[in-house]
Chains A and B, each alone.
Chain A
Amino acid sequence: MAGIGIVAAQCAHFTEALKLKGGGLLPAFDLVYETYGTLNAAKSNAILVCHALSGHHHVAGRTADEFGKPTANIGWWDNIVGPGRPLDTERFFIVGVNNLGGCHGSTGPASINPATAKPWGADFPVVTVEDWVDSQARLADHLGIEAWAAVMGGSLGGMQAMQWTLSYPGRVRHALVIAAAPKLSAENIAFNDVARQAILTDPDFHGGHFYEHGVRPLRGLRLARMLGHITYLSDDQMAEKFGRRLRVGAGSYGFDVEFEIESYLRYQGDKFAGVFDANTYLRMTKALDYFDPALDFDDDLARALARARAGFLVVAFTTDWRFSPERSREIVHALVHNGQDVAYAEIDSAHGHDSFLMDEPHYHAVVANYLKRIKP
């Protein structure tokens, strides 16, 4: 089925200061976003797609080059958004947004700090999932959307969907929480911290003010991504895709790339380090670590979720060990405890945490079937 074709980003500027959970105040900010489909007259068919750690607003379609021709830059969740796809642009108005602190156009560490006229760098505040949701609510206001038909996301995006139901219970009718968790485990935080240390200890990091030194902490960012990438895959998938296969001419008993998996990870690391901002990476992982809606409720997730009024679809993947199905079931059982509406699907998939991005027919059918219950 054809996708949605050429898309273009828009930018919303917000002049009212945003109070941050960490105590800071962001005086003004931009959010870059894309929309697909048509907002109906009642403005009741809007779905917000929240991105994960390395995502952005370009969810679907292709951007255009200077001649108006489609480029190879296809949205990161294009396989699920479009006419006839689960997030059907014939029925829904889909919004993708780049989160605050990001590096794809929304205000972030590389933006200019109005107080110093220099890039924010290390001075850009640590933003939380709650802050993101507050900023996204401003975008909803800007678009005239009183309540989302659904807020949806995978991984860190799923946490935003969950937070939406808690921060703005009356403004979200359904939450699709995919490959997420109600909070990070010590192991999750440990992986994040190793990734952060890789960046923080890179000599080119300059305490986060590397922009003014004309360098970027590529080595740290590359290591962080390599480590992260391992946690997104499954052992089985890695064994099947790479096994212990050697590259041609390998077997030198040295430390050059020998095994295919090394080659793959280095490629992924390089690719990512070339385009991503280290300060953004630090903040995205911190937002993950801090997310814990049950914290203020004596660690009682059911009590924390009690104020949600949305219906939930929770989806987990069997080989996801970063946010395992068990973690999703914690969310499900808390909702059942409260008598809230929830459906839960556990999808057989070989692709580990990354499964949520894959074009897996059963998974997509689950999402499509759930969205059919939404009457715009």
Chain B
Amino acid sequence: MNHALERADFDLIASWVQPGERVLDLGCGDGSLLKRLIAERGAKGYGVELEGAAVLAAIGNGINVIQGNLEQGLSGFDDQTFNHVVLSRTLQTVRHTERILSEMLRVGREAVVSFPNFAYWKNRMAVMAGRMPVSEDLPYEWFDTPNLRFFTLLDFEALCAKMSLVVRERQVLDEAGRLVLEEPNFLGSLAVYRLAR
């Protein structure tokens, strides 16, 4: 994973968290984002992670990490417990897309979702050239990708409309982690959304 871009993604999320807020990071990996939110924003954070190696690393990072499978929903987490529920670069790996989005907004007041944009121009070029795209934000070959869902900004927004989710804010980044202001579904490689009910 590109380091500069990861930070760009995290920069945005960190800017949305107010001091002392409660954050749930789904698919938190080694807990880098939470560690940053705790250090910089004084957030109270929990992470959920499936992979044992990542859980081990998160524990080493002093994170409140809960090992569990997002596909089984967030039962056990109470309604409206968190200010922000983050799903960073993970939605495309989840099978039960609608359920996880609903669950995020059940346990939290705001869902923060980032995902790779399949309609990014380089991805379109790759498909035009007859190959599945491999890029900074889609770094896998078709045969080893953990990604199950391939979708675009427009696709995602259509789903949000269908589910009556409110898009509070949308930021789109290019492969270098710079903000994309025009033609986001064409020039944007990674999208970050703030959603509410």
Cα(A155)–Cα(B67), bound, Å: 19
- Name A366's contact: one of B59, B63, B64 (CB within 8 Å): B59
Contact flags B49-67 to A (C-beta < 8 A → 1, else 0):
0001001111110111111
Query: Are the CB atoms of A333 and B60 closer together than 8 Å?
Result: no
Which range holds the interface residue count of chain B? 20 to 34
Known contacts A332-B76, A336-B77; A343/B63 CB under 8 A: yes
A373–B35 Cα gap in the complex (Å)? 13
Contact (Cβ within 8 A) A347 B76: no
- CB neighbours (8 Å) of B76 from chain A are 329, 332-333, 336
Say yes or no: A332-B22 contact (C-beta < 8 A), given A337-B78, A345-B55: no
Interface centre among A341, A342, A344 (most CB of B within 10 A): A344
Q: How many residues of A contact B (CB 8 A)?
A: 22
How does the 8 Å CB contact mask read for B35-50 relative to A, with 1 for contact and 0 for none? 0000000001010000
Partner of B52, one of A329, A332, A337, A348: A348
Q: Which of A346, A347, A369 contacts B60 (CB 8 A)?
A: A369
Is the Cβ of B60 less than 8 Å from the Cβ of A344?
no
Give chain A nearest CB distance to B182 CB in angstroms: 42
Assess whether B81 is interfacial by the CB under 8 Å rule: yes
Question: With a CB–CB cut-off of 8 A, which chain B residues contact A347?
Answer: 52
CB < 8 Å neighbour of A343 from B22, B52, B64? B64
B16 to chain A, nearest CB (A): 20
Do B64 and A341 touch across chains, with their CB atoms under 8 A apart? Answer: yes
Q: Which residue of A lies closest to B76 (CB)?
A: A333
Bound Cα distance A345, B55 (Å): 7
Among residues of A, the one whose C-beta sits closest to the C-beta of B69 is A346
Q: Which of A328-370 contact B (CB under 8 A)?
A: 329, 332-333, 336-337, 339, 341-348, 362, 365-366, 369-370
Q: Is B73 an interface residue (CB 8 A)?
A: no
Residue of B nearest to A367 (CB): B59
Report B-chain residues with C-beta under 8 Å of the C-beta of A337.
78, 81
Contact across chains for A346 and B68 when beta carbons are under 8 A apart: yes
User: Are A373 and B62 also in contact (CB < 8 A) when A336-B46, A337-B78, A339-B22 are?
Assistant: yes
Q: Contact mask B126-162 → A, CB, 8 Å, 1/0?
A: 0000000000000000000000000000000000000
The 4 closest A-B pairs by CB, nearest first: A333-B76, A369-B60, A369-B59, A344-B66
- Excluding A341-B64, A343-B64, 16 further A-B contacts by CB distance (< 8 Å) are A313-B59, A332-B66, A333-B76, A336-B66, A336-B76, A336-B81, A343-B55, A343-B63, A343-B65, A344-B66, A345-B52, A365-B56, A366-B55, A366-B59, A369-B56, A369-B57
